[in-house]
Amino acid sequence: MPEEILLRSARDQAAAVRAGEVSARELVETCLSAIERLDAELNAFVTLVPERALAEADAMSAGDSRPLAGVPVAIKDILALTEGIRTTFGMRATGDWVPSMDSAVVRRLREAGAIVVGKTNVPELGILPVTEPHRFGATRNPWDTARTPGGSSGGSAAAVAAGMLSLAHGNDGAGSIRIPASCSGLVGLKPGRGTISVAPVPNDTIGLVTDGVLSRTVDDTALALDLLAGYELGDPFLAPPSAEGFTAAAAREPGRLRIGYATEAPTGVPIHPDCVTAVEETARLLESLGHEVEQASPQLDPERFLEHFTRIWFADVGPGAKTLAAVAGGELDRAQLEPLTRQLVEIAEATSASDYIGSVSYLRTASRVLLAFWADHDVWLTPTLAQPPLEIGALEPGEGEQPVTMLAKAGEWIPFTPPINVTGQPAISLPLHHSDAGLPIGVHLVGPHGGEDLLLSLSAQLEAARPWAERRPAVSAST
C-alpha cells in the first residue's frame, strides 16, 4: 500500500478502516514499512513491537466504530507506561524494564482502537528540550537532519513530521510538546492542568507536567483530547470537562477575541528575526480575521521566577531518578546516569525542604500575577521559541563548563513555554511560518484556564486561513 495514506489524518485513517477501504493490518504494515525506511536516518523510535501491533490489527475488521480503529500510534518513552513494552525513560539506569500495566493515556488510546507500534526517543528523564540521550543517540529533524526536532517529545515529533504515522503521544513539563511541535512543523497542544491524567505515575508537586499528543491537524489534536481528557482515581488536579466537546469546539467559529502579542522574551534574551516575523504575520492575520489585537504581555519578574522554577525542576530530578530505578528493580546506579542528570541529583540532595516549599509558594503567588493578564485578554500570542531549531549538539557544555550549563543554554532558547506550565493554562504551538531556509517556526497561543475549547476554535480558524498540512519535510513518507 502507498505510504501516502499515513499522511492522512488519524480521523481519516480510522474512517478508511471502518469503510473497508483499507484493513487495519494494511495500515499497520504500511506504518512499519515507513519506519523501516525512514528511521535509520531519523532515530525517532527506540522500541518497536511489530508482531504485537499486527496481531492487534488482525483482530479488527471493517465496520469497527471506534474513533481510532486501526490507527497506528507511537508512545513517548517517558511518563507513559506501556504494558508488555519496554519503558526506559531514556536512561541506562532503568535497564530494559517492562511495565505490567498501561498508563491511563495509553489505555484510553487503545480503547479507542489505536494500535501502539512502539516507543519514541526522549532525552534522559525528559530533562532537556532536545532529544539526544546517551543511551539511544540523537533524534534528527526531518526538515534538516543536522538539527534537532526538539524535546523532550522529539522522537514523537520526528515520527509524525516524517509521516511514519499521524498521531503520537507526548508530554509537557516546560514546553516538551510545544517545543518539538515548533521545530517539526506540527500542532502541539499542552492541555491545562488536570485535563489529562498522568495516572498511575504520581503528579509532580505543582502539576507542571501533562500528557498530550503531536499531530499534523487541529482536528486530530481535538479528537485526541476528547479521548484522553478526564479524571482518573486519585488525581490531585481536576479540570472541568468541555461543555461542547473539543472536536465540536474546533469546528465552530471562535468569535471576536481580545489578543495580546509579544515579540520580546520576558527574560530579555534575543529573539531571532524569523520568530519575530512569525508572530507579527500571525498578529496581522488575526486582525484580518476580525480579532482585536494589540501588543501586550503579562507581568513577570523573570529573575526571581527563573530562580524558583529551576529550584523545583532540579529538586524533582533526584527523587524521580531514584524512584524509577527502584521500580525497574534496584537502587540507582549513578555511574549509569548522564553527567547532567548526575549533577542534578546532587543538587536535589542539597536542596532543603524549606527552600523547596518556599519556591513552590513563590510560583503559586507569581501565577496569580501572571493570570491577571487574562482578565483583559482572551489569548496571548508569542513565538514558541526564541530561535529556529538548534543544530544537534548545540546545548553540549563547552570545555571546562559544568553539565548544568546545558540548562542555562536551553533557557535562552525556551523563554516562553515554562511559565505556562507553572500557571497550568492550556497553550498550543502552530506551524504558521517557515524560515527562508525552510525550517518550521511555530507560534505560541496561550488561553485562560479551561480555555482548550477557545484555543482549538481559534487554531482551526488559523489553519483554515493559512493551511500547513500539505507541507512536507525533506525526509518524509511522501518522498
Q: Which of 23, 153, 166, 176 is catalytic?
A: 176
**Closest to 91 in 3D by CA, of 11, 2, 152:** 152
Helices (H), 251-301: 273-288
Residue 386 phi/psi, 5° resolution? -80, -15
Burial class, 370, CB count within 10 angstroms (exposed 0-12 / middle 13-18 / buried 19+): buried
C-alpha cell at 156: 514523537
The cell 472536536 sits on which residue?
247
Q: What does the alpha-carbon distance between residue 320 and residue 449 come to, in Å, rounded to a whole number?
A: 28
Q: Which of 23, 76, 103, 457 is catalytic?
A: 76
Instruction: State whether the Cα torsion 422-423-425-429 is positive or negative.
Output: negative
Instruction: State whether the Cα torsion 88-93-99-103 is positive or negative.
Output: negative
Beta bridge pairs of residue 69: none
Q: What does the alpha-carbon distance between residue 412 and residue 251 come to, in Å, rounded to a whole number?
A: 36
Q: What does the alpha-carbon distance between residue 368 and residue 265 come to, in Å, rounded to a whole number?
A: 20
190 as an active site residue: the answer is no
**Closest to 304 in 3D by CA, of 370, 375, 402, 206:** 370
152 as an active site residue: the answer is yes
Cβ contacts of 165 within 8 Å, gap of 6 or more: 6, 31, 34, 71, 72, 73, 74, 117, 159
Residues in the chain: 479
C-alpha cell at 184: 517539526
176 as an active site residue: the answer is yes
Residue 114 phi/psi, 5° resolution? -70, 150
Among all residues, which ones are annotated catalytic?
A: 76, 152, 176
